[in-house]
Amino acid sequence: MPIFDRAIFSRPLSILNNPFPALFALVLLSASSLGIRLLLSSTTPHKVPPAKMSSAPIKMAPRKKIAIMTSGGDSPGMNAVVRSCVRMAIHMGCDAYCVYEGYEGLVRGGDFIKQMDWFDVRGWLSEGGTLIGTARCMAFYERAGRLTAAKNMILNGIDALIICGGDGSLTGADRFRAEWPSLLEELVSTGELTAEQIQAYKHLNIVGIVGSIDNDLSGTDATVGCYSALARICLCIDMIEATASSHSRAFVVEVMGRHCGWLALMAAVATGADFLFIPEKPREDNWREEMRSVIQQHRRLGKRKTIVLIAEGALDKFGNKITPEEVRDLLADKNGLALDTRITTLGHVQRGGTAVAYDRMLATLQGVEAVKAVLEATPETKTCFIAITENKIVRKPLMEAVLDTKQVAKAIESQDFDGAMALRDAEFSEQYKSFMMTTAGQIDHETLLPEKERMKIGFINVGAPAGGMNAAVRAGVSYCLSRGHEPIAIHNGFAGFARHHADSPGSVRPFDWLEVDGWASKGGSEIGTNRELPSESGMETIANLIEQYQFDALFLIGGFEAFHAVSQLRKAREQYPSLCIPMTLLPATISNNVPGTEYSLGSDTCLNELVDYCDKIKQSASATRRRVFVIETQGGRSGYIATLAGLGVGASAVYLPEEGLSLEMLSEDVRHLKEVFAQDKGQSRAGRLILINEKASKVYNAKLIADILRDEAHGRFESREGIPGHMQQGGVPSGMDRCRAVRLAIKCIQQLEKYGRNVHNRVKMDPMSASVIGIKGASVIFTPVQKLEEEETDWPNRRPKAAFWLSMKEIVDILGGRPRHTLPEPDLTGVKAKDVKRGLEPVAN
C-alpha cells in the first residue's frame, strides 16, 4: 500500500481553464469498516470560483445530467447513496436529478423527475428507507412503458442513470440500456421526438449499486443495507435470549431470505444460535434427528435457552420447505425434547430503521465511485455495478453477477446444494463452516486430532477493551475443544499473568464452556485486559510462566499494545527458549491502528456508537438551527474513527493527527461556516458537526475550538462541544464485529495448529511463527510481526506508516462542502529545530 504524500492533499484539487471541471485528476483512495479502496476523480469543489477566463468567446459544452433512482425493496443506506451521488455529481460539474418512485417515476415523468440542489439532500444520512420513494412498475415491463421512460429522459436531457436496487431492478436497467438505440429510433419514427432532440443522447450509461438487505447478489461481499438488517436481527435475538433463558424456553426465529441465507447465517454466527436452516445448505439425511441431538447435547451441558434460526426459504435436502411451525412442533414434542417453544417472525422490522455506520460508509463510497464510473463510461463499456470484496471497492460486470445469482436459485431448485454454496462468496462458506464448528463441533468427534497433535493454547487480551473480543475468545475456545486442544484463559493480560497466577483462583485457568458460550453478544473483555507489556511485567517472569504452564502456543487479542507485546516476545526468543512457541495476534481496537490490517475488531462497534451519538447531537443542533457541535473522538494518534464517523454523519470538518491543526485552518472553517449559515433560509436540518481526534493537536481541543468558533461567529451562530468519551469503547458488539471475530479467531487457531507441539527450532527459524492476521484489500492474510515492526510501523505515533483510509478524508470534505484548506506546516524536530530557533538555519517556507 503506498504511503500518501501530504503534498497531494495540500494542492488545489484541479486547475480550471473554464467554468467546468477538468476531468480527471486521479487520486488513489483506500478505505475500510472497516478500510476500502477506490479511485476517485478529483476536481475543484463546487464552491471554488473558476479561474479567470480570456475575453474570447468560448463555445460551452452541455453540462452532463445524471439521474439517481432507488428501486425494488427499500434498504437502510439508500438515502446515503442518493446524497453522495447528488453531491458528487454537482462537485464534478454535472446536473443531478432524482427520479421519484423508481421506474414508475421514470415512466410518468413530469414532477417525478426533479433536479436536485446541493442542500436538497442534507440530513439524509440519518434517514431510513428511501426518501425519493420506490414502487413496483408493471408498465416498465412492457416496451411501451420503456419507450415513455426514454422519452422522459431525453426531454430532461438525461443520458446517465445510477440505480440503487436489487438484482431485478438492475436487470431491468441493463435491458433498458440495451434497447436504448431502438427506443430512440422508434420515438423519432413515430414523431414523439425529432432527430435533433436525440442527437446528443445516442448512448445511455447505467451504473448499478446493490441495495438489498438479503445480500443476495453474487460478486459482492456486502450490499447496501445488509449490515443494518443484521444489526436489527441481532438486537431482537439478544432480547429474546433474555426471556428464553429466564423461562428455559426454545425460540424459533424466522428471518428474511427466500433464496439467500446470508442474514440467517450471519445472525446465527453473531448470536451463537443452536441450530440453523438456510436454503443453500440443507442438513444431511435426517435433519430432525440431527437437530434433536445437537440441542439435547446443549441442554445436557446446562444451557437454559435454545435459539433456532430459520431463513424464510429454508429447505430440506429433498427440496421440501421447512416451516417454523414444523420446527416448533419437533422441539415441543412431549416424546422428544419437550421444550416450551415459541415462534418469532421478525418481518419488516429487519428492513426499517436508520443505516448503521458501515452501510452509510459503503453507500457513500459506492455512490462516489458510481458517479465516476458513469462519467468514464463509453458506448462500449458494459453495464457495471459497484461491488466490495473484503475491503476493496471494485466495478464488476452487472449481468455476470445477475446470472450467477440466478444460478444459485436454479441450483437450489435442482437440489445441487454444493453448487449453490460454491456460487456464494468465500466469506459465506467460511462463516458456515465456522458456525458448524463452534456450535456442533464438540458433538462431532470426527474433528478431534490425534492425542500427540493436541496443543495447550493460552488466550490473552492486551490493551483497551473492544467490541468483539469476547466473541473471538468464544469462537477460539469452541474450535479448540472441537479439535481436542486445551484452551487456557490468562486473565487481565500480562499484568495478571505475572502477578496473580498463583492466587486462588489464579489468573491462569481453564475455560468453563457453559459460561463462554454466552459471550457472543457481550461487550468488553470477560477475561479482562491490561495495557502492560511483557517487558514491564518482567520478560524473565513471563518466559518462566510460559514454561511452567507448558503452553504450546499463544493467541493474543488486542490493539497496538498487543502488537508491541508480540514484538517483544519475538525479540526475546534468543534469550528465553521457552518463548519459541507460535503466537498470533487478532487485532482488536477501536483505533484501528495495528500494522498489518485494515480492520480491527471493535472499530465497527465504536463507529456505530459514535454515529448514533452524533445523530442525536446533530438533531439537537438542527432544532436550534444555527449551531455547531465540536465532537471529540477517541483513536489515539490515528484519525480513522474521526474520518469514518465524519463520513457517516456528514461532518463539516474533521481534524486528524495525521494532518494536524492550525489557527489558519480554524480561521478558514469559521469563514466557511459563516457563509453556510448566511445561505440558510430557515430550512430544517441546519445543524453542523465538526469532529476532532483527541490527539489532533497539542493545543486545540474540542472545548477550545468551540469557544473560538463562538467568539469568531460574532453572534451569527452558536457552538458547543461534546465528548462521548469511553462510551465509544462500550456497548453491545455490532453484528459485523461478532461475525468477523468468529471467522478470524478460527483462522488464528488454525494458523497455530500448523506448528503443533515441541517445535522450538522450527519456530525460531520461521518468521510466520509470530504473526498478525489482517484484512488487506481483497484478502485475509497473516503477516510476520518482524516484517511489520521493521517496515510498516510508525513507532513514535503508534500506528501504521501508511494510513490506508486517509484519502477518505477528501470525500468527507467534498461531500460536506468544505472548501480546500491549507494544511499546517510539519513540525521541526531534533537538532534541526534547535538550529532554526538559534538562527543557525533559515526557516523553510
Mean pLDDT (10-residue bins), the chain, 845 residues: 33 34 34 40 38 38 86 95 98 96 96 95 93 92 95 95 93 93 96 94 94 92 95 96 94 94 96 95 88 92 94 92 96 95 94 94 97 92 90 89 90 89 86 87 76 96 96 96 95 96 93 90 95 97 97 98 98 95 97 96 97 90 80 96 96 95 92 85 69 96 95 89 90 95 97 93 94 91 97 96 92 94 82 78 65
Instruction: For residue 348, say whether it is annotated as part of any ligand binding site.
Output: yes
Bridge partners of 512, per DSSP, are none
Instruction: For residue 407, say whether it is annotated as part of any ligand binding site.
Output: no
Instruction: Say which CATH topology domain 605-731+811-816 has.
Output: Rossmann fold (3.40.50)
Q: What is residue 437's predicted lDDT score, i.e. its pLDDT?
A: 87
C-alpha cell at 120: 436538497
Residue 99's identity, in one-letter code, is V
Q: What is residue 418's predicted lDDT score, i.e. its pLDDT?
A: 87
Instruction: For residue 590, say whether it is annotated as part of any ligand binding site.
Output: yes
List of E strands, 426-471:
456-462
How far is residue 401's CA from residue 392's CA, in Å, rounded to a whole number?
A: 17
**3-state SS assignment for residue 8:** helix
Instruction: For residue 249, say whether it is annotated as part of any ligand binding site.
Output: yes
Which is it for the CA torsion 762, 763, 766, 771, positive or negative? positive
Owner of C-alpha cell 425494488: 72
Q: What is residue 285's predicted lDDT score, i.e. its pLDDT?
A: 75
Single pTM value for the model:
0.90
| The domain made up of 448-601+733-794 is a member of CATH 3.40.50.450 | yes
Phi and psi angles of residue 533, each rounded to the nearest 5 degrees, phi first = -90, 160
Residue by residue, DSSP assigns 570-623 as HHGGGT-GGG-S-EEEEEB-TT---TT-S--BTHHHHHHHHHHHHHHHHHHHHH
In CATH, which of 3.40.50.460, 3.40.50.720, 3.40.50.1100, 3.40.640.10 is domain 226-350?
Answer: 3.40.50.460
Instruction: For residue 627, say whether it is annotated as part of any ligand binding site.
Output: yes
Instruction: Say which CATH topology domain 65-222+356-402 has.
Output: Rossmann fold (3.40.50)
Q: Please give the C-alpha separations between residue 298 and each of 273, 292, 474, 745, in angstroms, as whole numbers.
A: 11, 10, 15, 22
C-alpha cell at 520: 457472543
Checking DSSP bridges between strand 770-776 and strand 583-587, what pairing results, if any?
parallel
Same CATH fold, 448-601+733-794 and 65-222+356-402? yes
C-alpha cell at 600: 480491527
List of E strands, 390-524:
392-397, 456-462, 486-490, 508-510
Instruction: For residue 177, say whether it is annotated as part of any ligand binding site.
Output: no
Q: Please give the C-alpha separations between residue 577 and each of 359, 459, 541, 560, 564, in angstroms, as whole numbers.
A: 47, 20, 13, 25, 19
Q: What is residue 426's predicted lDDT score, i.e. its pLDDT?
A: 80
Instruction: For residue 335, say whether it is annotated as part of any ligand binding site.
Output: no
Instruction: For residue 214, say whether it is annotated as part of any ligand binding site.
Output: yes
Instruction: For residue 53, say whether it is annotated as part of any ligand binding site.
Output: no
Q: What is residue 205's predicted lDDT score, i.e. its pLDDT?
A: 93
Q: Please give the C-alpha separations between residue 600 and each of 465, 468, 712, in angstroms, as whole numbers.
A: 12, 9, 39
Q: Please give the C-alpha separations between residue 301 and each of 237, 298, 342, in angstroms, as whole numbers.
A: 21, 5, 22
Instruction: For residue 349, say whether it is annotated as part of any ligand binding site.
Output: yes
C-alpha cell at 643: 474520518
Instruction: For residue 493, say whether it is annotated as part of any ligand binding site.
Output: no
Instruction: For residue 239, say whether it is annotated as part of any ligand binding site.
Output: no
Instruction: For residue 558, say whether it is annotated as part of any ligand binding site.
Output: no
CB 587 within 8 A of CB 741: no
Instruction: For residue 245, say whether it is annotated as part of any ligand binding site.
Output: no
**3-state SS assignment for residue 629:** strand
Instruction: For residue 258, say whether it is annotated as part of any ligand binding site.
Output: yes
How far is residue 726's CA from residue 739's CA, in Å, rounded to a whole number?
A: 23
Q: What is residue 33's predicted lDDT score, i.e. its pLDDT?
A: 40
- Residue 321 has a CB neighbour count (10 Å cut-off) of 11
| Residues belonging to the active site | 214
Q: Where are the domains of the chain?
A: 65-222+356-402, 226-350, 448-601+733-794, 605-731+811-816
3-state helix, strand, coil in the chain (%, to 5): 45, 15, 40
Instruction: For residue 425, say whether it is annotated as part of any ligand binding site.
Output: no
How far is residue 613's CA from residue 608's CA, in Å, rounded to a whole number?
A: 9
How far is residue 80's CA from residue 124's CA, in Å, rounded to a whole number?
A: 6
Cα 281 to the center of its chain, rounded Å = 26
Counting Cα atoms < 13 Å in the Cβ hemisphere of 574 gives: 3
Instruction: For residue 213, say whether it is annotated as part of any ligand binding site.
Output: yes
CB 803 within 8 A of CB 28: no
Sheet with 95-99: strands ordered across: 25-31, 36-42, 392-397, 384-389, 205-210, 160-165, 65-70, 95-99, 113-116
How far is residue 584's CA from residue 586's CA, in Å, rounded to a whole number?
A: 7
Helices (H), 117-194: 143-155, 167-189
Residue 180's identity, in one-letter code, is W
For the chain, the farthest-separated pair of C-alpha atoms sits apart, in whole angstroms, at: 93
How far is residue 268's CA from residue 251's CA, in Å, rounded to a whole number?
A: 13
Instruction: For residue 380, say whether it is annotated as part of any ligand binding site.
Output: no
User: Closest by alpha carbon to 4, among 787, 637, 662, 801?
Assistant: 801
**CA torsion 353→359→361→362, rounded to 10°?**
-150
Which is it for the CA torsion 215, 221, 225, 227, positive or negative? positive
Question: How far apart, in Å, do the first and last CA atoms of the chain sit?
Answer: 30
Q: What is residue 443's predicted lDDT score, i.e. its pLDDT?
A: 64
What does the chain come to in residues?
845
Phi and psi angles of residue 82, each rounded to the nearest 5 degrees, phi first = -60, -45
Q: What is residue 595's predicted lDDT score, i.e. its pLDDT?
A: 97
